[in-house]
Chain A
Amino acid sequence: MNLMLPDSGLLFWMTIIFAIVFFILAKFGFPIITGMVDKRAKRIDEAIAAARKAEESLAGLAQEQERLLSEARTEQARILQEAAVQRDNMIVQAQEQAREEAKKIMDEAKARIQEEKEAALRDVRKEVALLSVTIAEKVVRKELSTDKGQMELIDRMIDDLS
């Protein structure tokens, strides 16, 4: 029985055939496939890492957005408050100014009224004096048209003097 005896011809051919198969497959076959699969695995890993990173940055972005929004909100409040203060100030200032202006105008008006009044009084006095002089002249003339009247006057004046 030659089942257990390796045949030299078959050994020879097996060596050659396996060597050729090994050479071809080791050079053009398996490394390409395993290499490509490794590359794909690497790429998938990278893609997952990138996705995680993107997710993280997205979360960061949302946070940033939130922060910006709240900042904007506080800024708005601050500006509004400032504006209110400024408005109040302006109103107060304007009121004061108006008051001052009004006072000035009033004072001026008062002064002028006073002046006018005095001028009017002076005129009236002058007029009254003139009138009284004229009246007095007329009265005196009428009184002194008689001797008796003249004498009485002289007497009264002497009485007054004495």
Chain B
Amino acid sequence: MKLLRLILVIALLVCPVVTGRAGDGVDHEQSSEIDVGEILFGHIGDSYGWHITDWKGKHVTIPLPCIVHSSTGWHFFMSSKIEHGHEHEGLFIAGEGRYEDKIVERGADGELVRPFDISITKNVASLMFAAVLLISLVLATTRWYRRHDASEEAPQGFAGLMEMMIMMVNDDIIRPSVGEKHYRKYSPYLLTAFFFIFVCNLMGLIPFFPGGANVTGNIAVTMMMALFTFIAINVFADKHYWKEILWPDVPMFLKFPIPIMQTIELFGVISKPFSLMVRLFANIMAGHMMVLGLVSVIFVTVKLGPVINGSMTVIAMLFGLVINCLELLVAFIQAYVFTMLSAVFIGMAHQEEH
């Protein structure tokens, strides 16, 4: 109760500042409507530069390297070269249309052509940052083990926390789900997946520079995660698993001459990683959407006058706080669920000798 009152007081203190600033903004650009959709999709989507904030009417953006192979060969340049509709070596960012916000070039007959594009975008940079962070966290933990005799003493502090989390995932998710016999082979992958997703999720919740990118809420990222799990499930599966798919124990007419069961089973094989992909993507994206939408409420209601704007600001901040706390939970739960389901699917592919 005390905490709630404190939050309310802070919200009320902050709101005049926010509305005041927002009011100034309206004075400047009275003509421009606030496009919530653009704000939302701009934050959720990918971009070539890392937009941090607007300062005195200017975009503060970290330029990121663009790597493009177009009809004129390889191009390496910084994203600042093609900002605001500038053209660089025949390449520019498309406006409206099929390739909105992507680097394109003009084809022979004038239409837009998408070149082969492996630019370090905001999401890629964020992925790299998360990767470096994760590797340093885990290697910092292993350093403790190299320096101490782990059979004599248990780590404390940071290494202890990491050990607790790693062993929680290892012993509570991976081991029972995959099965005692095979779990050692899969635990490095599943642990990597868990911590990779968890770190990316948490970084997505940090609203300023190193975080804030919507990495695990991007379908390409979750698709690759799901693909790795697909490989882990199917490549090392045993005979029993394949027999269950290709020649299950069902009446003959269900599997020959029309392979009904096989079709269903194969569909299941595909749908398992597909569900993993969509679940993670949708959950994280929805979380980002909600927080951004609530923040946008503050700016949308500026036009409605200071009273409504002020009260809406308080409400939006309170809701935003609640949603952010929820997202903190979701960040963990989605990593947990992805890992557990991957482990369960892997376990199902090793049902022999159980």
User: Main secondary structure on chain B at its contact with chain A?
Assistant: helix
Q: Considering residues A2, A6, A7, which has the most beta carbons from chain B within 10 angstroms of its beta carbon?
A: A7
Q: Which residue of A lies closest to B194 (CB)?
A: A30
**From B128, B142, B151, B224, contact of A33 by CB (8 A):** B142
Residues of A within 8 A of B (CB-CB), count: 36
Report chain B residues within 8 Å CB of A14.
124, 127, 220-221, 224
Whether B9 is near chain A, meaning CB under 8 Å from some CB there, is: no
Are B131 and A17 in contact, with the CB atoms below 8 A?
Answer: yes
Against B, the Cβ 8 Å flags (1 = close, 0 = not) of A6-49 are 11111111110110111011101111111011011011000000
Are B225 and A5 in contact, with the CB atoms below 8 A?
Answer: no
5 contacts between A and B (CB under 8 A): A6-B219, A10-B221, A18-B192, A29-B142, A32-B146
Are B166 and A3 in contact, with the CB atoms below 8 A?
Answer: no
Are B145 and A4 in contact, with the CB atoms below 8 A?
Answer: no
How many Å from the CB of B198 to the closest CB on chain A?
13
How many Å from the CB of A12 to the closest CB on chain B?
5
Whether B208 is near chain A, meaning CB under 8 Å from some CB there, is: no
Q: Which residue of B lies closest to A43 (CB)?
A: B151
User: Main secondary structure on chain A at its contact with chain B?
Assistant: helix
How many Å from the CB of A52 to the closest CB on chain B?
19
How many Å from the CB of B97 to the closest CB on chain A?
11
Whether B121 is near chain A, meaning CB under 8 Å from some CB there, is: yes
User: How far apart sit A33 and B154, CA to CA, in the bound complex (Å)?
Assistant: 11
Whether B283 is near chain A, meaning CB under 8 Å from some CB there, is: no
Whether B311 is near chain A, meaning CB under 8 Å from some CB there, is: no
User: How far apart sit A114 and B78, CA to CA, in the bound complex (Å)?
Assistant: 156
**From B119, B154, B188, contact of A30 by CB (8 A):** B188
How many Å from the CB of A144 to the closest CB on chain B?
145
Report chain B residues within 8 Å CB of A43.
151-152
Q: Which residue of A lies closest to B190 (CB)?
A: A30
Are B124 and A9 in contact, with the CB atoms below 8 A?
Answer: yes
Whether B80 is near chain A, meaning CB under 8 Å from some CB there, is: no
Are A13 and B135 in contact, with the CB atoms below 8 A?
Answer: no
Q: Which residue of B lies closest to A29 (CB)?
A: B138
Report chain A residues within 8 Å CB of B188.
22, 25-26, 29-31
**From A9, A17, A25, A39, contact of B121 by CB (8 A):** A9
Known: A25-B138, A33-B163. A13 touches B189 (CB 8 A): no
Are B138 and A30 in contact, with the CB atoms below 8 A?
Answer: yes
Pick out which of these stretches binds chain A: B13-21, B40-48, B51-59, B263-271.
Answer: B40-48
Known: A14-B220, A40-B150. A21 touches B118 (CB 8 A): no
Whether B196 is near chain A, meaning CB under 8 Å from some CB there, is: yes
Report chain A residues within 8 Å CB of B154.
40
Known: A7-B46, A13-B120, A17-B128. A25 touches B192 (CB 8 A): yes
User: How far apart sit A102 and B134, CA to CA, in the bound complex (Å)?
Assistant: 113
Are B139 and A29 in contact, with the CB atoms below 8 A?
Answer: yes
**From A2, A32, A33, contact of B100 by CB (8 A):** A2
User: How far apart sit A24 and B41, CA to CA, in the bound complex (Å)?
Assistant: 34
Are A20 and B131 in contact, with the CB atoms below 8 A?
Answer: yes
How many Å from the CB of A37 to the closest CB on chain B?
6
Are B224 and A18 in contact, with the CB atoms below 8 A?
Answer: yes
Known: A28-B139, A33-B145. A5 touches B151 (CB 8 A): no
Known: A7-B220, A34-B187. A24 touches B135 (CB 8 A): yes
Whether B334 is near chain A, meaning CB under 8 Å from some CB there, is: no
Q: Which residue of A lies closest to B219 (CB)?
A: A6
Against B, the Cβ 8 Å flags (1 = close, 0 = not) of A51-84 are 0000000000000000000000000000000000
Against A, the Cβ 8 Å flags (1 = close, 0 = not) of B127-150 are 110010011001101100110001
Report chain A residues within 8 Å CB of B134.
21, 25
How many Å from the CB of A62 to the closest CB on chain B?
31
Whether B167 is near chain A, meaning CB under 8 Å from some CB there, is: yes
Are A34 and B131 in contact, with the CB atoms below 8 A?
Answer: no
Are A18 and B225 in contact, with the CB atoms below 8 A?
Answer: yes
**From A3, A20, A21, A34, contact of B45 by CB (8 A):** A3
Whether B203 is near chain A, meaning CB under 8 Å from some CB there, is: no
Known: A13-B127, A21-B192. A8 touches B116 (CB 8 A): yes
How many Å from the CB of B144 to the closest CB on chain A?
9
